[in-house]
Chains A and B, each alone.
Chain A
Amino acid sequence: MIRAILIYLTILFVGIIFLASMILYAIPALQESTFVLPGVSETQTDAGNTETQKESLNKEVEKLQVKLDKFTPTSAYIIVNTSDNHFFLYKGSQLIRDGKCSTGKNEKLTFVNSKKVYIFKTPKGVLHVQSKQPNPVWAKPDWAFLEDGLPIPPPGDASRFESGTLGAFKLVLGDGYMIHGTIYKRFIGQNVTHGCIRLLDDDLDVVYHTLEVGSKVYIY
């Protein structure tokens, strides 16, 4: 009796393995092979005509490529990868410098007694350098006080202004976003900022002196 059950179970097991391997591997492989589909029909054409067509196609591709290449700025621009916290500074198609940076921490700051929210992330897309400034003074926005659990001082209050926090230079990108230095050098390479792009001193120096007002900043 036990022997019979064992035999039936073995047959069942072999059957299941067969079915599973067919359905999981053999049939999908057959489905994805070119074997099940008819071949592409070859059409014969006049050889001379083909050469002319090839030539004109080559010219068209060249023209299109030139058009496409024109989209790449000839002047300096910077690319910022917010996922890896890395920047690449280019002049035309030549990479001048690359290095670590810090970008937005991807946080939403909420309040117990208020519906107000602040989202701390670096915007993606193309921005432009709107202005440049050496020895910048940080005019602390409201969130800087709220994040520290402090009351918001009136605009222009002395407690709003801090020297040295932004490093030696700042490049303004608009909407409160900037490229600047940092005193928190140990956090470079991490997502820790409120949306700005922080660089190390040496990198900031090169970026500041390479990018012009109007230079493009590509962020992804």
Chain B
Amino acid sequence: MKNNSAENFDSLFEKKKHGYKIFIILFFLILIGIVGIYTYFTVGAVRSTMESAKTEVQGATPVNPSLIGLMKNKAWVESRLKMATDDSIGMSIDLEQNEIQLLLKGVVIMKSKIKESSISGFFKRMDGNVYFNIFGSPLTIRHLESSIAKNPLKVIQAPTTADTAVVIVTAKDSLQKGKNSPPKENIYWTVKLDHNIELNIQGIDSITKAQNKYKLGKGFEFQRDLKNIKSSFEHIIKFQKPNYTPEILISIPENEAKAILRAIPKNASITIRI
């Protein structure tokens, strides 16, 4: 009798262990399946973006690879020249020299050294014709979002009497005196350009400080990734290829990121050299 109950217990335990195994295998098969489908669609999106970029330049004479460097130089200067005829402030981004410049009527009014930058694989795999089709002339900002107000304007009610004016001035005076250093803000902004290119600029004074400040990743990358993943899932659930946006991420000092954001018009021209 005793032997029988011990055997029953063992077989029950074996059955449970077997149950776990099946559960683990099934669970991970489902996960791998999800990851596989997701990978297939997202990678497919990059490929189809490249294909459509190539379709735009179909029929063009292939660019001689040994001349690409010089042709890029020419396109860069030509682009800046086109921008010089513009009345408003434009921006030129030189990822070769790691420098951002603000130009007004062809005059460099500001320079900012790029601390860190990254570009999508899409840009690294472009052929000469696709490159010149995209960066051969200035790009225009189609949409701009920023973490701080682009044109801050404080609304003030005029005092009705001289006495109230004195009170306001005294209060302002003491406030200004206390302003030894401006408050630290998280400065980042993102713009959508022609050809569905996204340009992200974040202000960081030091990479280590930025990591502590933003906690997850460097700046708004994590937030942006989550947004992209959500959009990708929405497409994949409907068995559609998700949208792919080639991105350029640039980190420059905070005060310079702020100055550039406040300086450029909402539909500014941007020239880029990669």
Binding site for B on A (CB under 8 A): 4, 7-8, 11-12, 15, 18-19, 22-24, 27-28, 30-43, 45, 50, 53-54, 57-58, 60-61, 64-65, 67-68, 70-73, 77, 79, 81-84, 105-112, 119, 121, 124-126, 146-150, 186-187, 190, 192, 216, 218, 220
Contact = CB atoms under 8 A, between A and B. Distances in A.
A24 to B, nearest CB: 6
A203 to B, nearest CB: 18
Q: Determine the interface band of chain B, counting residues with CB < 8 A from chain A.
A: 35 or more
A148 B16 CA distance: 84
Interface string B112-137: 00000000111011111000000000
A41 B127 contact: yes
Interface of B: 16, 20, 23-24, 27-28, 31, 34-35, 38-39, 42-43, 45-47, 50, 62-67, 70-71, 73-74, 77-78, 80-81, 84, 87-89, 102, 104-110, 120-122, 124-128, 151-165, 176-177, 179, 225-226, 228-229, 244, 247, 255, 258-259, 262-263
A124 B105 CA distance: 13
Given A79-B109, A81-B110, A218-B104, A67 B155 contact: no
A189 B238 CA distance: 55
**Residue of A41, A54, A108, A218 contacting most chain B CB atoms (<10 Å):** A218
A35 B121 contact: yes
Nearest to A19: B31
Contacts, number: 198
A38 B34 CA distance: 25
Given A11-B27, A36-B46, A108 B38 contact: no
A34 B66 contact: no
B125 A64 contact: no
A33 B47 CA distance: 12
Contacts of A31: 42-43, 45-46, 121, 244
Nearest to A90: B107
A124 B263 contact: yes
B154 A107 contact: yes
Contact of B125 (A8, A30, A37, A109): A37
> Secondary structure of the A side of the interface?
mixed
Contact of B121 (A33, A146, A186): A33
Contact of B81 (A68, A126, A186): A68
Given A30-B42, A126-B104, 8 more contacts: A36-B43, A37-B121, A50-B64, A79-B109, A106-B153, A107-B155, A108-B155, A192-B176
Given A40-B125, A67-B81, A22 B35 contact: yes
Contacts of B157: 110-112
B42 A125 contact: no
Contacts of A7: 20
**Residue of B50, B71, B77, B263 contacting most chain A CB atoms (<10 Å):** B77
B176 A53 contact: no
